[in-house]
Structure 1
Amino acid sequence: MIERLLINRFVNKDQEEAKVRESYGRMSSLTGIISNIVLFAIKLALGLISGSISLIADSINNLSDVGTNVVTLVGFKMSVKPADKEHPFGHGRTEYISAFAVSFVILLLGYELLKTSFERIVNPIDVNVNLISGIVILLTIGVKVWLAGFYMRMSKKINSQALEAASIDSRNDVLATSTVLLSFLITWASGLNIDGFIGLLVAGFIIYNGIQFVREAMDTLIGVQPDGQLIEDIHDYIENFDGVISLHDVIVHDYGPVSKMASAHVEISADFSLVVAHEIVDRIERDIYEDMGISLVIHIDPVEDECETSSQIKDDLEDYLGDEAQIKGIHDFRILTKEKVVIFDLFLPEDFHGDIDEVRAKMVQSLKEKYDYKFLINVRKEKHYI
């Protein structure tokens, strides 16, 4: 119910996609800021009253979450800025940069808490445990459980790496605060003071999260393989257009969660005039931008009608491919009957580490045993990303 009220109050779904996405991000970030400030204040007060370093450490963890939410909020705000002369592809990657900056804040806080907890182990202080503290800690765990689910649902709505990271962080906070509660219970039941050790454990959670966030943010900024489902969706979308025979070499460039560019090689019959071929690809580029928000550039590969010889050669190639599991497929097949030349691209797996020239020579030798043609084979590794 709270989630529905927040969406209805702060998200205007009648705006353009980028604005709607920014509204979801702003609402989610502000919800996290308010929640974590309240949790920080409550835990810090209880920690100071009870003398528990583990609870103080956990409160500082919530304060770091406030910083995370603030940077995420700024990232969402910056990401919807339109393209300008200095940034022709927009500002969508600022969300990734904000996640990168937050990760270092988390690491710094984790390091400081690690030192404080170690000092508490060397010089232990009695912890004042009572029922009220336990109940309050239990309630704060419930808030973090809700926040973890809330962030994850919002991240799926707008495909946000930052909110997904916030969800994972909240989930780890549940584990961290649970260890603090366990420390209180053990101290209350046995009198054994493990407060410093629990503080170390909480600091470990924080440092682990920071390292994970650094890796994820760096991977995104450097450039990683796009979601396989996205590549499949692009293939399916383009192949549904009349006049398209096949496509390959789909490459996606990520300029932010709502700003992606792509290129693809699309096979179209060579019998079409240049005007008709242009109309086909122009319609594809226009429609995929409207439906999927992808700026697509298409390279046309003309495909001539098959003669009897070309059909025979393609059949032999398919049989050959069936025996060679390392070969992914062929594209841009053309046969020049007058010159007696066969041209095509041969694709190998991205992780292929063998001798490419050897693969080419082996295939040429196999084909020349049956056909008096010259074979020009361009061997390439399959790639989908930048």
Structure 2
Amino acid sequence: MKGLISVAVDVYKKVSRVLWVILFANIAVALLKIVVGSIIHSASMTADGFHSMTDGSSNVVGLIGIRLASKPVDKDHPYGHKKFETLTGLFIAGMLFFIGGKIILNAISSFMKPVAPNITIESLIVLIITLCINIFVSVYEYNVGKKLGSQILISDSMHTRSDIYVSIGVLATLVGVKLGLPPIIDPIASLVVSGFVIYAAYEIFKDNSGVLVDKVAVDTEKIRDIALRFDQVKDAHDIRSRGSANDMHIDMHIMTEPYMSVEESHKLIHSIEEQIRNEINANAQVIAHLEPYSSEIEV
């Protein structure tokens, strides 16, 4: 158990460092879009900039969540504080739902009084640069999140990934206006932006809420197959799993020969736990209930 706690603390430190790097990158991208969007009077680029700003604010929320989640086990929290990471993911989803609604309202306002954006080569270059930064940030953050099993990094990368599609839409809008399309295409693009934002919020909400409601974390048959590889195990049932990649809990009932000693049973359980951690999740906490096996003879 102490080994798992030590690993978790190291993971949270790595997640925190990544969030700090991503925070500064997101702030730079957001300010660039907002300033340029305001100068050229582009509702879609300005909306994209505020969306990027939520990336930075979600990083701050993530840093707070990681600090809370990394707290050690105490009397009031015998299972630790890891679900603060899940709550942080839900908070990020809420932020995205809010910003998506705000973009829709701004788009409706722009429909009433559409303004043709003042497009320059410089603004297009800025948009392309920020798009490249977002692609790097999203891929890097997602890969590290998967490697570390961090819900916050994965959620935040999904948030940033929506920026990529949004920026592509804004870029297409500016080029379209430059080619002679009517200014109303700009608020239309803003509605598309809101669609991506709300979809990202839904994906983040779905992933994190699954952890809170104890959705199945591992295929039951996979766990059963591992247990049955051991000769002493005659059957395995009532298998359950819950949690996230870095806080997984598995419990099951294992049937063995009734003559096994306590020491033999203890070694068997530890062997099964180790095999599950090797094949499924290194952070899995396994609880196995032993039952005596008796074959039924049909008369």
TM-score by structure 1 length?
0.69
Give the SS at the match of 2:106.
Answer: helix
Which residue of 1 is the match for residue 195 of structure 2?
A: 204
- Per-residue CA deviation, residues 246-276 of structure 1 (Å, 9 max, x unaligned), is 322221242x543333221112112334x34
- Offset from partner CA, 1:193-221 (integer Å, 9 cap, x none): 12121112112221222233233322221
| Equivalent-residue separation in structure 1 for 2:156 and 2:273 (angstroms) | 35
Aligned AA (2:195): G
Shift of residue 137 of structure 1?
0.5
The structure whose residues are more often strand, as a share, is 1
Selected match of 2:205 from 193, 198, 214: 214
User: Structure 2: which 5+ residue stretches go unaligned?
Assistant: none
Q: Which residue of 1 aligns with 2:247?
A: 259
1:110 counterpart SS class: helix
What amino acid does structure 1 have at the position aligned with 2:234? I
Report the equivalent of 1:20.
Answer: 10
- Per-residue deviation, 1:33: 0.8
Specify the code of the residue in structure 2 equivalent to 1:267. Answer: M
SS at match of 2:255: strand
What amino acid does structure 2 have at the position aligned with 1:122?
A: M
Whether 1:50 and 2:40 are equivalent positions in the alignment is yes
Per the alignment, residue 139 of structure 2 pairs with 149
- Structure-2 residue corresponding to 1:299: 289
Deviation at 1:95, TM superposition (A): 0.6
SS at match of 1:167: helix
Distance in 1 between residues matched to 2:170 and 2:277, nearest whole Å: 50
- Matched residue, 2:97: 107
**Aligned partner of 2:215: which letter?**
V
- Shift of the 108–142 alpha-carbon distance from structure 1 to 2, 3 Å rule, reads same
Relative to its length, the structure with more helix (as a share) is 2
State the partner residue of 1:347: none
Matching residue within 120, 144, 162 for 2:152:
162
CA spacing shift, 1:200–1:67, aligned 2, 3 Å: same
The within-5 A match list for 1:49-68 is 49-68=39-58
Residue identity (%): 22
Contact 1:238 1:284 in 2 (8 A): no
SS of corresponding position for 1:245:
strand
1 or 2 for the larger relative contact order (CA 8 Å, sep ≥6)?
A: 2
Q: Would you identify which runs of 4 or more consecutive aligned residues in structure 1 move more than 6 Å?
A: none
Count of aligned pairs: 291
- 2:65 is aligned to 75
Q: Shift of the alpha carbon at 1:277? A: 4.7
Is 1:119 the counterpart of 2:109? The answer is: yes
Deviation at 1:122, TM superposition (A): 0.8
CA distance in 2, matches of 1:299, 1:117: 58
Is the radius of gyration larger for structure 1 or structure 2?
1
